[in-house]
Amino acid sequence: MDQRTDPRTDRRQTGLHATLLAALGPAITGGEHPPGAILRTDALAERFGVSRTAVREAVRVLESLRLVESRRRLGVRVRPREEWDVLAPQVIRWRMAGADRPRQLRSLTTLRSAIEPVAAGLAARQATPAQCAEVTALAMDMVATSRGGRLDAYLAHDIAFHRAVLRASGNEMFARLGDVVAEVLTARTRHGVMFPDPDPAAVTLHVRVAEAVRTGDAAGAERLTREITEGALRELDVLAP
């Protein structure tokens, strides 16, 4: 079979490009390649033992995330940090894996504090009965998995709860932030920025938010959600100062 059409070759190239991306992304966001640094395709291909095609594929992804830009006759230049797509889940994941994690967690949790309470208030005003039932069920799932070191199960329900509230707000912009919230909550768990069991007070607050959404208590939903996000910031003072 012609190698250009062999699916095994395509899978190999995809794997190489993914491996290269997994190395370059954290290296850029972690400062190993600082803004203004020039990355040359040939040098990257030689260093990582991959083809120039794999390098170009990885660079295309990095360009889509605004981490780099290609310059003819010069190479691939790392862009200034203020130009990065800092809300892209992949960029968040890479930054969370590096030394910048505490600042990232605080920055994104502050963003949550500004957005999620407003979204919860909107959800209380206009969530459908089905959405109210979903939010309530997920809060109960959080209660059920909040003890016994079941952090992975709790995380899944916690992410789903916050996504559901953002969707129930009826604002598509808020709903899109579900991926950002998911990355923040995942990073807290994966990198040990969580207590062995979730704070019981925080779990109870989620239940109360669900009840406020169900009963149409917009002011209560907003206030309680603000308590959740402010509590998350206080936890960072202890776990990721």
Q: Give tens-digit pLDDT for 116-144.
A: 999 999 999 999 999 999 999 999 999 99
* 3-class secondary structure, 77: strand
Domains of the chain: 3-83 (1.10.10.10), 89-239 (1.20.120.530)
The pLDDT of residue 5 is: 45
Token code pair at residue 49: 């033992």
Structure tokens at 23: 């190395």
User: Number of helices and strands (H, E) in the chain?
Assistant: 11, 3
Which of the residue ranges 20-24, 145-149, 206-210 has the most confident prediction, judged by mean pLDDT? Answer: 206-210
Given pLDDT bands bounded at 50, 70 and 90, which one contains residue 10?
Answer: very low
* Percentage of residues in the chain having pLDDT higher than 90: 64
- Asked whether the predicted pLDDT for residue 239 surpasses 90, the reply is no
Can you spell out the DSSP letters for 36-68?
A: T-EE-HHHHHHHHT--HHHHHHHHHHHHHTTSE
Q: Model-level pTM?
A: 0.84
Name 68's bridge partners. 78
pLDDT at 17 over 80: no
**What are the residues facing 39 on neighbouring strands?**
76
